Amino acid sequence: MAILVTGGAGYIGSHTCVELLIAGFEIVVVDNLSNSNINVLNRIRELTKKDFKFYEVDLIDKSSLEDVFIENSIEAVIHFAGLKAVGESVKIPLHYYHNNITGTLFLCELMEKYDIKKLVFSSSATVYGVPINVPITEDFLLSATNPYGRTKLMIEEILRDLYIQNRDWNIVILRYFNPIGAHPSGRLGEDPNGLPNNLMPYITQVGIGKLEELRVFGNDYPTSDGTGVRDYIHVVDLALGHLKALEKVMSTSGIDAYNLGTGRGYSVLEVVEAFEKASGRKVPYTVVERRPGDIPICYADVNKAKKELGWAATRGIGDMCLDSWQWQIKNPNGYEDFKHISKIKMN
Ligand code: NAD
Ligand code: UFG
């Protein structure tokens, strides 16, 4: 019996595949490689010394997806596959709705057809919209401020309806806060296309000299130093959270949502400082206007995950920065080839 991992070639999915294989699970990975690189798969194999089946399949292609269910004996599904760029989702909303929602509908329809009712779903802290206060507990009012967030919100609702219709379903919704960091080996990490949207990949590219300076989006927020505060979580801690979620869906039926964060917020400038300490590099920055849609402060109450999943993050901001940096310097061009490596000065 195998665990089907959709989006397993992506940033969080690849780290989770490693932890699943190390824990002894058999896995089958489905990914259309729309935001990931085929090289990731061999790195997962290399790190774990284990093999697994990979299908380059789009979830929207239901008949090819069905082949995966026909050809494998699947016990549970961890569903990462989805598009995730907030700004892009505003520009091409229909594509986001189609990819994320239709993809999930087809997946769930096939799970029903093949009587597989154990699902772990990647949601996001974005479903809390503009939180009224912090720390954020799972019972906060949900809302969304952009099409990407609405896909997560809608999928959560779809999954709740699925459970109401058939109480045999076992579903865990994981609401990630801000995943950063990389595998400590430096072999897996986040590989954004083009200019990074998110803070940590932007900082590491400034650190290595690919980008000139960080633009800090606003320093007039009601926070200790005026810059935005987020709950950054190491991607390996996040991956391990999926193993705990899997344990839960294997043992009980129901539907439940859990925050995966550290429960502690860091400002942009605190992250810059932690990165400089971990890497020994300076990160020049300029403060610019606030980024539209950004919220001032966001951090999780993580007690529910601790109590009910037996999971807590153990890696601190120093490890997150160090591992992000190691990944950046060992893979200056991400998963692309290494032919430019000698041009980049490293010390
Ligand atoms: P990622 O883009 O690195 O990984 C997603 C993977 O899904 C990619 O490999 C992509 O090729 C694949 N994919 C997308 N659409 C597909 C489709 N229709 N069929 C098959 N494969 C498809 O992103 P990630 O950071 O690893 O995120 C994984 C999940 O976690 C996503 O659902 C994302 O929305 C969610 N999430 C991410 C963050 C974050 O900051 N990284 C925060 C909260 C939630
Ligand atoms: N920031 C900068 N400069 C940058 C990039 C970011 O100052 O170049 C600041 C932002 O203003 C924010 C903080 O750094 O205060 C973190 O920004 P990110 O873009 O890294 O992360 P967000 O919290 O904005 O968004 C992330 C994901 C979303 C997800 C959300 C909640 O990108 O997809 O977390 O989970 F919805």
Q: What is the pLDDT of residues 246-279, one digit of tens each?
A: 999 999 889 999 999 999 999 999 999 999 999 9
Pair 219, 137 in one domain: no
Mean of the pLDDT values across residues 162-185? 98
Residue 238 has pLDDT above 80, yes or no: yes
HSE of 244, CA atoms in CB hemisphere, 13 A: 22
Pair 13, 74 in one domain: yes
Pair 169, 246 in one domain: yes
Pair 256, 133 in one domain: yes
Is residue 59 in contact with ligand 1, taking CB distance under 6 Å?
A: yes
Q: Which domain holds residue 208?
A: 199-230+263-330
In the chain, count H helices and then E strands: 12, 14
What pLDDT sits at residue 94?
Answer: 98
Q: How far apart are CA 168 and CA 56, in angstroms?
A: 30
In a domain, 223, yes or no: yes
Give pLDDT tens digits for 94-122.
999 999 999 999 999 999 999 999 999 99
Our count of domains for the chain comes to 2
CATH number, position 211? 3.90.25.10
Which residue pairs from 277-283 have beta carbons closer than 8 angstroms and sit at least 24 positions apart in sequence?
277/318, 277/321, 278/318, 278/321, 278/322, 278/325, 279/207, 279/321, 279/322, 279/325, 281/207, 281/208, 281/325, 283/203, 283/206, 283/207, 283/213, 283/214
> How high does pLDDT run on average in the chain?
96
Expressed in angstroms and rounded, the spacing between residue 343 Cα and the centre of ligand 1 is 31
What pLDDT sits at residue 33?
Answer: 98
Read off the pLDDT band of 346 (50, 70, 90): very low
Ligand 1 atom closest to residue 33's alpha carbon, by position in its atom list? 11
Which residue lies with its CA nearest to atom 13 of ligand 1? 81
Pair 130, 155 in one domain: yes
Site to probe by mutation for ligand 1, drawn from 6, 17, 34, 193 as the one with most ligand atoms within 8 Å of Cβ, is: 34
Site to probe by mutation for ligand 1, drawn from 31, 57, 156, 324 as the one with most ligand atoms within 8 Å of Cβ, is: 31
Expressed in angstroms and rounded, the spacing between residue 125 Cα and the centre of ligand 1 is 14
Pair 42, 166 in one domain: yes
Beta bridge partners of 234: 180
Read off the pLDDT band of 155 (50, 70, 90): very high
Is residue 103 in contact with ligand 1, taking CB distance under 6 Å?
A: yes
Q: Is 114 a catalytic residue?
A: no
CA–CA distances in Å: residue 291 to residues 228, 232, 295: 10, 19, 9
CA–CA distances in Å: residue 342 to residues 187, 331, 338: 18, 12, 8
Single-letter code of the amino acid located at 191: D
Residue 342 has pLDDT above 80, yes or no: no
Mean of the pLDDT values across residues 75-88? 97
**Coil, strand or helix: which one is 302?**
coil
Q: Which ligand is nearest the CA of 231, by number?
A: 2
Compute the chain's Rg from CA coordinates.
19
Read off the pLDDT band of 198 (50, 70, 90): very high
In a domain, 325, yes or no: yes
Pair 134, 268 in one domain: no
In a domain, 9, yes or no: yes
Residue 343 has pLDDT above 60, yes or no: no
What pLDDT sits at residue 336?
Answer: 84
CATH number, position 129? 3.40.50.720
Give pLDDT tens digits for 291-332.
999 999 999 999 999 999 999 999 999 999 999 999 999 999
Which residue lies with its CA nearest to atom 15 of ligand 2? 228
In a domain, 341, yes or no: no
Q: Which ligand is nearest the CA of 220, by number?
A: 2
Expressed in angstroms and rounded, the spacing between residue 200 Cα and the centre of ligand 2 is 9
Pair 60, 206 in one domain: no
Which residue lies with its CA nearest to atom 35 of ligand 2? 125
What pLDDT sits at residue 337?
Answer: 53
Single-letter code of the amino acid located at 264: R
Pair 168, 207 in one domain: no
Q: Which ligand is nearest the CA of 146, by number?
A: 2
Pair 252, 269 in one domain: no
Pair 110, 204 in one domain: no
* Active-site choice (55, 148, 202, 335): 148
Give pLDDT tens digits for 17-29.
999 999 999 999 9
Which residue lies with its CA nearest to atom 11 of ligand 2? 217
In a domain, 102, yes or no: yes
In a domain, 343, yes or no: no
In a domain, 188, yes or no: no
Pair 307, 203 in one domain: yes
In a domain, 291, yes or no: yes
